[in-house]
Amino acid sequence: MDPGLYIAAAGMVAEQVRQDQLTNDLANASTPGYKADDCTQQSFGELLLSNTSTAQAIGGLQTGVRISKITTDLTPQPLQQTGQPLDFGIAGVGFFAVRTAQGIRFTRDGQFSSSAQGLLVDSNGDPVLSQTGATIAVAANGTVQAPAIGVFNVNNPAKQGDNLYTGTATGRAAGVIRQGELEPSAADPLETMTAMIASLQAYQSGENAIQTIDGTMQTSANSVASLGGGA
């Protein structure tokens, strides 16, 4: 089997993963507090080629790439004023905490609202927590004081979907909560679209390489068959 097929296929699989990541970033370009991801590609390694008759080394052949890891850039973004009393942004590092059916989760999205029970909740309807882990009541005038909301330092935060993270809370973070402001999404639509086009072109290059190799192998097979038939 031509090793070029494996190399091209590996590159296409890596670009599929990258396309999924970029698509998710683009879909969240307007999601408050969203953090963009970055795919790191790594070579599978080099295949040493040698002469089959003399065993003399000829050289090396790269065997393709794979996605080695996906990292999230958690750099805080400048806050934007909204004037909404239940919008909160964290200036600096830290996370809000919410209680979900799966346990405590963390988020940078401070676009909160009041539940039917009068509790401060996130966009998923999960209660927002104070620094002591208690739920927070919304006042009769529809407001909550910023100091009532917890801001947590989180070790090893990992995305879990719905703009939420898992991790280990290690006390109060240094970030300051500001009322009537939100942190915008860190995903830039233009940059993401540009990266998606580049990724798609790389995927198509792999597809074209496979078609070319397949055509060459088919031609070679037909030639061998023709020689065998004439013998």
Residues 120-145 pLDDT 10s:
999 999 999 999 999 999 999 999 99
Query: Which residues are within 8 A (CB) of 46 and not within 5 positions of it... i.e. 6 or more apart?
Result: 60, 61, 62, 63
Q: Model pTM?
A: 0.74
Give CB contacts under 8 A, 24+ apart, made by 138-141. Answer: 138/86, 138/114
Domain extent listing, the chain: 3-72+187-230, 80-182
Question: Which of 163, 156, 185, 195 lies closest to 78, judged by CA?
Answer: 185
From first to last of the 231 residues of the chain, give the pLDDT tens digit: 455 666 777 777 888 888 889 999 999 999 999 999 887 766 655 545 455 666 666 655 455 566 667 789 999 999 999 999 999 999 999 999 999 999 999 999 999 999 999 999 999 999 999 999 999 999 999 999 999 999 999 999 999 989 999 999 999 999 999 999 999 999 999 999 998 898 888 878 877 777 777 677 677 667 766 666 554
Structure tokens at 170: 């290690």
